[in-house]
Structure 1
Amino acid sequence: MATVTELLEPVELDLETLLSDLRSLIGAGHPILQAAAEHLFSAGGKRLRPGIVLLISRALSQGGDLSPRHRRLAEITEMIHTASLVHDDVVDEAATRRGVETVHSRFNHRVAVLAGDFLFAQASWHLANLDNLDVVKLLSRVIMDLADGEVKQGLYRYDSGQSFENYLEKSYCKTASLIANSAQAAGVLSNQSEDRLQLLHHFGRQLGLAFQVVDDILDFTGSEKQLGKPAANDLASGYLTAPVLFALQEHPSLAVLIERELTSADDLEQALQLVRGSDAIPRSRELAERFARESREALTWLPDSSYKRALVDLPDFVLGRLC
């Protein structure tokens, strides 16, 4: 199974350029905000989202060349993603991310919120300067979706009656929207037909959903080291994911524990046993496999290249995190 670094190898140099360009794009603003942004971009991370934009852009180009506007789109994608992580960490009160102190841990909550806002504002400014209304609409939608997903997640905490559709909608907003809309935007900048733009969106949507479902499975099966947070953290926080929703169909008694917000001594352990002792994990895995397959199928029309091969391998990489 290839690693992310291996998959993104065809655009490795582009990603290096992207990082140095991001640092200069942030500009000489407020020193603390600049320090916070620097801290974020030097914290590592897979750069998967801008990598996807770069791979699609090169796969669609006649000679595999990359226009300045495609490069800027990849930078904007990473800015939006990073801004959303800062705000997520504040909401979740996470102390570290990728083994590095979160912005609010290193500075404070106020600086973290402002740094996230600063990055969203920077992304919006550079987006407007692309002078392409369709791309502006696509990426502005992402910023709306991210906020919408965060609100939805908060509203449905410990709600055992929520529908599977709600879960998928929230997952799309929080995880898949950025991949889907930035993939489509790369197609817009490459003057692709409407049919192909929809396929690029579908590729990103299904890949993002597969990624989220895999994440949700790992919350029950992964180690703390693998997850970077305590196992069953989502359930303990009242966020009901695919495995929990499937387990609820099999064990209605799980609803009682959830509705009382897992407050009794053994509630969380009991809930974990009900999820792990049901068909919930295999059913969630099947769902992730379906999303991965549909994501792969959406790219059959792309001409063969190292960029296309990397994109087609991405869904398998996402599923490979379960091994």
Structure 2
Amino acid sequence: MATVAELLQPVEADLDALLADLRSLIGAGHPILQAAAEHLFAAGGKRLRPGIVLLLSRAIDPDGTLGSRHRRLAEITEMIHTASLVHDDVVDEASTRRGVATVHSRFNYRVAVLAGDFLFAQASWHLANLDDLEVVKLLSRVIMDLADGEVRQGLFRYDTGQSFETYLEKSYCKTASLIANSARSAGVLAELPQPRLEDLYRFGRQLGLAFQVVDDILDFTGSDQQLGKPAASDLAAGYLTAPVLYALEEKPALAGLIEREFCEAGDLDQALALVRGCEAIPRSRALAEQFSREAHEALQWLPASEASTALLALPEFVLSRLY
């Protein structure tokens, strides 16, 4: 199966230019914030989100070229994503991300919160300068959704009464909203008709949800190395994801362990055994496959090109992380 780098190959040069641009966009200003931002963009993420925007921009352009506004949209997408990671790490008190010290552990919490704010503010400024009100609305919504998702995640910790709907809304806010709304924005800038904008949004939404469900499955099936954090760390922190919510339907005993916040020795191991010992993981896998299929269907209208081939391979790639 292809790697992320292989899938993003048609826009590899665009992504290199994007990184150089991000450094200069953020360069002006405060030395500490600059150091924090530099540190982030050097941390070598997969660049999947801006990559999707760049691939879509090339795929929907009749000549396959990339305009300056689409390039800027991809940069804004990466700024928003990175800002949200800085704040997530503060909330989660994570000491590393992708094997690199997090901003707050390298500087301090105040700097990390401010660096995240700084990136959100810069993204908003460059967003306004695109001079497209529709795109401003779409991406401002994303910034709201990211905060909303983080708050919801905190509110529903150890809450075994939450609905599956709540879980999907939180997953949409935290993971899918940015991909969905930036994909749609690429179509808005290209002046595509309304039905096509809906397709782009749907592609991003379902791909983002598939991505999140796969992540949630890996929390139970992946190794510590693969995850870059201890397995079942979400469950230990009280975040109830698809496998847990499905397991609660089959194994009522699980509720008691969660509600007492795994306070007794062996509680967490017992909870893990319950989740792994029922249909929860296969059901979660089927859900991820459904989202992935829907994402693939949403882009069937794209004309054949290197970029569209890569885009249509993405849903399958998201699932491949499970095998």
Residue 127 of structure 1 is matched in structure 2 by 127
Residue 205 of structure 2 is matched in structure 1 by 205
Residues 11-50 of structure 1 correspond to what in structure 2 (within 5 A)? 11-50=11-50
1:220 aligned onto 2:220: yes
Residues 130-149 of structure 1 correspond to what in structure 2 (within 5 A)? 130-149=130-149
Moved more, 20-29 or 233-242: 20-29
Moved more, 258-267 or 163-172: 258-267
Once the two structures are TM-superposed, the CA of residue 27 in structure 1 deviates from its matched residue by 2.8
Residues of 1 paired with 2:28 and 2:66: CA distance? 27
Residue 91 of structure 1 is matched in structure 2 by 91
Residues of 2 paired with 1:174 and 1:213: CA distance? 12
Instruction: Describe the superposition over 1:86-110 as per-residue Cα deviations: whole angstroms up to 9, x where unpaired.
Output: 0000000001000000000110100
Residues of 1 paired with 2:319 and 2:93: CA distance? 28
Residues of 1 paired with 2:142 and 2:134: CA distance? 13
Instruction: Describe the superposition over 1:177-218 as per-residue Cα deviations: whole angstroms up to 9, x where unpaired.
Output: 000000000000000000000000000000000000000000
Residues of 1 paired with 2:301 and 2:23: CA distance? 36
Once the two structures are TM-superposed, the CA of residue 62 in structure 1 deviates from its matched residue by 1.2
The one-letter code sitting in structure 1 at the alignment partner of 2:140 is S
The one-letter code sitting in structure 1 at the alignment partner of 2:80 is I
The one-letter code sitting in structure 1 at the alignment partner of 2:255 is A
Residues of 1 paired with 2:140 and 2:102: CA distance? 25
Residues of 2 paired with 1:224 and 1:53: CA distance? 31
Residues of 2 paired with 1:109 and 1:224: CA distance? 26
Residues of 1 paired with 2:67 and 2:304: CA distance? 20
Residue 246 of structure 1 is matched in structure 2 by 246
Residue 106 of structure 2 is matched in structure 1 by 106
The one-letter code sitting in structure 2 at the alignment partner of 1:86 is V
Residue 290 of structure 2 is matched in structure 1 by 290
Instruction: Describe the superposition over 1:223-265 as per-residue Cα deviations: whole angstroms up to 9, x where unpaired.
Output: 0110010000000000000000000000011000111111111
Structure 1 unmatched runs, 5+: none
Residue 235 of structure 2 is matched in structure 1 by 235
Residues of 1 paired with 2:288 and 2:27: CA distance? 40
Residues of 1 paired with 2:271 and 2:29: CA distance? 48
Residue 279 of structure 2 is matched in structure 1 by 279
Residue 52 of structure 2 is matched in structure 1 by 52
What percentage of residue pairs aligned between the two structures are identical? 79
Residues of 1 paired with 2:304 and 2:118: CA distance? 39
Residue 153 of structure 1 is matched in structure 2 by 153
Residues of 2 paired with 1:74 and 1:213: CA distance? 24
Consecutive aligned runs of 4 or more in structure 1 exceeding 6 Å deviation: none
Cα RMSD for the two superposed structures: 0.4
The one-letter code sitting in structure 2 at the alignment partner of 1:280 is A
Residues of 2 paired with 1:236 and 1:120: CA distance? 30
1:270 aligned onto 2:262: no
Residues of 1 paired with 2:181 and 2:28: CA distance? 30
Once the two structures are TM-superposed, the CA of residue 124 in structure 1 deviates from its matched residue by 0.1
Residues of 2 paired with 1:211 and 1:260: CA distance? 30
Residue 167 of structure 1 is matched in structure 2 by 167
Instruction: Describe the superposition over 1:252-311 as per-residue Cα deviations: whole angstroms up to 9, x where unpaired.
Output: 110001111111111100100000001000000000000000000000011111100000
Structure 2 unmatched runs, 5+: none
The one-letter code sitting in structure 1 at the alignment partner of 2:214 is V
Residues of 2 paired with 1:27 and 1:218: CA distance? 37
